[in-house]
Amino acid sequence: MLKKNRLWFRSALLAILVVAVGYTIYNSMNEESGTYISKGDTAPNFVLTDLNGKQVELEDYRGKGVFLNFWGTWCKPCEREMPYMQRQYEKYKEQGVEILAVNVSETNVSVKNFADRYRMSFPIPMDKQREVTKAFGIGPIPTTILIDKNGKVVERTSESLSEKKIISFMEKIKP
């Protein structure tokens, strides 16, 4: 009888834990995601301040291809992508392609140190309150959204990008 009660108690406790973990995961995924922006959608406009205190508004980039990258300094795949992105930015900015590297909720100091280390010259809008991250439905980072000259989303990916892939993406959104 005692063994039966212990087994029942352990099973009930395990079931409660599984439900609690499942609920937590479900809630955090839904809370983070906001509206999921995907291929064919019009990219929602946003205004953020970059590291230099300048306002960055997506609408100002109409007529250009935009490589919109959501990233963090702590993210190893993001760190690997940055030198590739910088090299391709130098090549493609004269061809009408811009990179906006939206940092997700970090301090200016840590982002500035990171940007200086990797000699990043493209705009780095700071999404401190995660408003733009939520508006685009960003979950894992890095996430890159390709936007054409008309403001339409051409592609969205959350994979770590090779330099070859970045080049193909830049070609895809070149006006």
The model carries a pTM of: 0.80
Least confident of 13-27, 106-120, 157-171: 13-27
Closest CA to 56 of 93, 103, 94: 103
- In this prediction, residues 88-110 reach a mean pLDDT of 97
Looking at residue 10, its pLDDT comes to 72
Predicted local distance difference test score (pLDDT) of residue 26: 47
140 torsion bin: left (phi>0), alpha (psi -120 to 50), beta (else): beta
